Amino acid sequence: MRELRIKDRSAGLPPVSRVAVPAVSFAQHPGLVARLEKGYPGAKVNVEGDIYYRSEEETIAYLRGHDAAIVSFEKINDRVLSALPDLRVVSKLGVGLDQIDPLAMRKHGVRLGWTPGVNKRAVAELALCTAMAALRHVMECNLSMRNGERPLTRLGRQLSGRVVGVHGVGEIGQEFIRLLQPFGCRVLGCDNKDRSDFYVHHGVEQVDMEELAARSEVLSIHLGLNPTTRNLYDLGRLRSLRPDCVLINTARGGIIDERALHRALSEGWIAAAALDVFAEEPTSEDDLLRLPNLISTPHIGASSVEARWHMGVTAIDGLTDNFIPVPGRYPFEFF
């Protein structure tokens, strides 16, 4: 790739002072607003709470005239940065970078504040929670009883001793594996990076995607969304899973083909699935959501008080601790 001639909008300038936070989730923790305002008096914070993900036009309008921003799922691309010549720093609330274009950041000399792993415990706990709930038919039994039925019992499976596959063994995948340790599971790890030291220390068996699909009774996805992972779990891959498999995705929507998943769950190719993320959010796939063997949550993986505080504090720190992204290098290896 040809190296871009870049400019650094922050070079030789005083620290940023005009901060805007379009991310609704930042203000959900009141302590974060107070902490931000202490360091950046007059910061503009979205406390409306009724905007899910802003359009590019709304993001531009919200950030206009500011030299720094804390964003969550707002798109940061060439169009947005071209319209915001004052913007020098973008700090990420959370870890997902699929809405940030590193080529545009580098072209415009805008710096990125980003800290990996800040929400790993919260996301890993949700994955563990949904694994056990799906194995024991918790949601199906709950809905049945709420509908006035009184089932005598429903035979499920324990998590203890299961073969659990982890697709993506980065910060969150590793935390999920740590949480599995007391359950005596046989853990399979699949990752395109060398995780051998972690595997040896935690008793993880390294496998490829085909073996992961063929052997996992629970398969938890912890991948980033990029061109190599979009619709990775398509019809063919879903057909290759065990019929008793519980498939979990707390990573990013778009990794699983949702139409293919609907068919897999409806026709019994797999036992159950749990999704915290969807290709479009909020999702409109009501037919999928109504399936009795699907557990669905509205992207709450990082929505714990503890995780939100850690995410917010590191995002504030990112206003001063930042870098200019390089496409093709960590954390944008697959761009």
User: Which token pair is 246?
Assistant: 């519980």
Which one of 167, 299, 308, 310 is the catalytic residue? 299
Read off the tokens for 92: 């990420």
Rounded alpha-carbon distances, angstroms, from residue 139 to 49, 143, 295: 28, 6, 7
User: Quick check: helix, strand or coil at residue 234?
Assistant: coil
Other C-beta atoms closer than 10 Å to the C-beta of 240 total 15
Q: Looking at 167, 237, 252, 310, which residue is catalytic?
A: 252
- SS3 of 69-120: the string is EEECCCCECHHHHHCCCCCCEEEECCCCCCCECHHHHHHHCCEEECCCCCCH
Other Cβ atoms less than 10 A from the Cβ of 147: the count is 7
Q: Which of 281, 290, 306, 329 is catalytic?
A: 281
Indicate the helix (H) or strand (E) that contains 164.
strand 163-167
Please state, as a whole number, how many other Cβ atoms lie within 10 Å of the Cβ of residue 190.
25
Q: Which residues contact 98 (CB under 8 A, 6 or more apart)?
A: 224, 225, 226, 252
What is the distance between the alpha carbons of residues 44 and 17, in angstroms, rounded to a whole number?
Answer: 11
Residues 6 or more apart whose CB falls under 8 angstroms from that of 66 comprise 18, 19, 20, 44, 84, 86, 87
Tell me whether residue 252 is one of the annotated catalytic residues: yes
Is 281 known to be catalytic? yes
Residue 201 annotated in active site: no
Torsion of CA 159, 268, 251, 281, to 10 degrees: -130
Give me 318's structure tokens: 């990112």
The catalytic residue positions are: 252, 281, 299
